[in-house]
Amino acid sequence: MNNETLWKRREAAIPRGLGMMHPVFATRASNAEIWDADGRRYIDFAAGIAVTNTGHNHPAIKAAVAAQLDNFSHVCAQVTPYEPYVALAEKLNALAPGETPKKTIFLTTGAEAVENAIKIARAATGRPGVIAFSGGFHGRTMMGMALTGKVVPYKTGFGPFPSDIYHVPFPAPYLGISEAASLDAIARLFKSDIEASRVAAIIIEPVQGEGGFYAASPAFMQALRSLCDTHGILLIADEIQTGFARTGAMFAVEHAGIEPDLMTVAKAMAGGFPISGVIGKAAIMDAAGPGGLGGTYGGSPLGCAAGLAVLETIERESLCQRAIEIGDRIVRHCEALRQSDRGIGEVRTLGAMTAVELVVDGDADAPDVARTAALVAEARKRGLLLLSCGVRGNVIRFLAPLTIPMEQLDEGLDVFSAALKATAG
């Protein structure tokens, strides 16, 4: 089977709502390389959307999953619990920022983690309201869509959504949105739409993923922490894309030096095996009654085994430090390109969560959506897999595995440079 034949089968068998960035079908992957059905090799700067931070088919993760598979693949943690679930929870509780005792529940997807974080916040506070940010992405379930701050394609045609959800602008200086303006919007919200005493939680991605890789500064995160403390509101850090060494810390919120009340985690947590979780202060996590939380596949034995191996790999291979090195290398390369290409409006990074914003002739108010799409396609033709993102659809995000050999990183950056030049006006 080749890519063309498989694409025809895909169009006949799979609904169009499942969008696909690249019309190539993976048949094999190793660390930061993928081979398709035509036998072609690609350097992977997508990592399954920040999932394979530890690379494709990491030997330690494969071994851990194989060992667990020899024991059992599923019994349901709510029927007969198992030690890997407890062990992974213990490790994450210890790693979570802050001194407050923590507890963790495991689920299956990032959206499911978000749903449960909101349930827990409402149970703990007895309040209904939730504040999220424009440009944020929190999943495709009904609550996830309600919280997500991007209409197309995530919310179009799917409403109505759950009530008592409110959005305020995310601080993005490049787009002209200051931190003060964002905080002022919350203050206005308390006066015009919902009183602070009815707000259960504020949920924020420390670095917006789908929204365009805009990072909330430590000062802004600290201001949110203070605001939440003043009003008895819980602060939820959505670490689904930012977690597990991607930003140069185990969790991105660590850069701000604050302790969130709840954190949602998924994606890179198990190196490609489906598992997610909510980590939070123990007293808050215990707010829901027995049976109020859970799911048949939540905290699968294979996912827990893989998760333990991921944490060991991050520590053993110093992947937090390596993320910083990778991000610095990408930024230096892209900043050099920006000197001669006015289509690069801004380069930004936190660790190895790096992005380039494409605009027309240096104008921040003129997003170059067409060139962004052309660049992704051109890079693919040359053997590099990229992802675009951003509310305006004009951001290229770099999400190479943190285990990528530096020579492959440089090879991918050279391909990016060539594709950028090829798509210049």
Say if residue 249 is in the same domain as residue 362: no
Q: Which two tokens stand for residue 254?
A: 């660590």
Do 227 and 105 fall within a single domain?
yes
d(Cα 308, Cα 144) in Å, to the nearest integer? 27
pLDDT of residue 425: 76
CATH code where residue 133 lies: 3.40.640.10
At residue 1, the pLDDT reads 87
The 3-class SS string of the chain reads CCHHHHHHHHHHHCCCCCCCCCCCCEEEEEECEEEECCCCEEEECCHHHHCCCCCECCHHHHHHHHHHHHHCCCCCCCCCCCHHHHHHHHHHHHHCCCCCCEEEEEECCHHHHHHHHHHHHHHHHCCCEEEEECCCCCCCCHHHHHHCCCCCCCCCCCCCCCCCEEEECCCEHHHCECHHHHHHHHHHHHHHCCCHHHEEEEEECCECCCCCCCECCHHHHHHHHHHHHHHCCEEEEECCCCCCCCCCCCCHHHHHCCCCCEEEECHHHHCCCCCEEEEEEHHHHCCCCCCCCCCCCCCCHHHHHHHHHHHHHHHHCCHHHHHHHHHHHHHHHHHHHHCCCCCEEEEEEECCEEEEEEEECCEEEEECHHHHHHHHHHHHHCCEECEEECCCCCEEEECCCCCCCHHHHHHHHHHHHHHHHHCCC
* Beta carbons of 40 and 24 less than 8 angstroms apart: yes
Q: Are strands 165-168 and 344-350 parallel, antiparallel or unpaired?
A: unpaired
Count how many domains the chain has. 2
Same domain assignment for residues 237 and 335: no
Based on the domain organization, do 358 and 298 belong to the same domain? Answer: no
pTM comes to 0.97
pLDDT tens-digit readout, 146-157: 999 999 899 999
Domain with 29 in it: what CATH number? 3.90.1150.10
Q: pLDDT tens-digit profile of 405-417?
A: 999 999 999 999 9
Q: How far apart are CA 202 and CA 191, in angstroms?
A: 16
Domain of residue 82: give its range. 60-316
Give the HSE-up count for residue 230: Cα atoms under 13 Å, Cβ half-sphere. 8
> 243 with 312, same domain?
yes
Instruction: Verify that 155 and 275 share a domain, yes or no.
Output: yes
C-alpha distances out from residue 230 to 139, 234, 235, 339, Å: 29, 10, 12, 45
Q: Which of 266, 286, 316 is the last residue of a domain?
A: 316
End-to-end CA distance of the chain: 37
**Residue where a domain terminates, one of 255, 283, 316:** 316
Calpha distance 372→387 (Å, rounded) = 10
Q: Name the domain boundary from 316, 345, 380.
A: 316
Residues 100 and 204 in one domain: yes
Same domain for 330 and 309: no
Q: Which residues in the chain land under pLDDT 50? A: none
Q: Are residues 78 and 186 in the same domain?
A: yes
Question: Are 193 and 204 members of one domain?
Answer: yes
What six digits make up the tokens of 171? Answer: 């601080």
At residue 37, the pLDDT reads: 97
- With CA atoms as reference, report the closest residue to 169 among 199, 149, 193: 149
Instruction: Say yes or no: 64 and 144 in one domain.
Output: yes
pLDDT, position 400? 98
327 with 184, same domain: the answer is: no
Cβ atoms of 106 and 269 within 8 Å: the answer is no
DSSP bridge partners of 203: 236
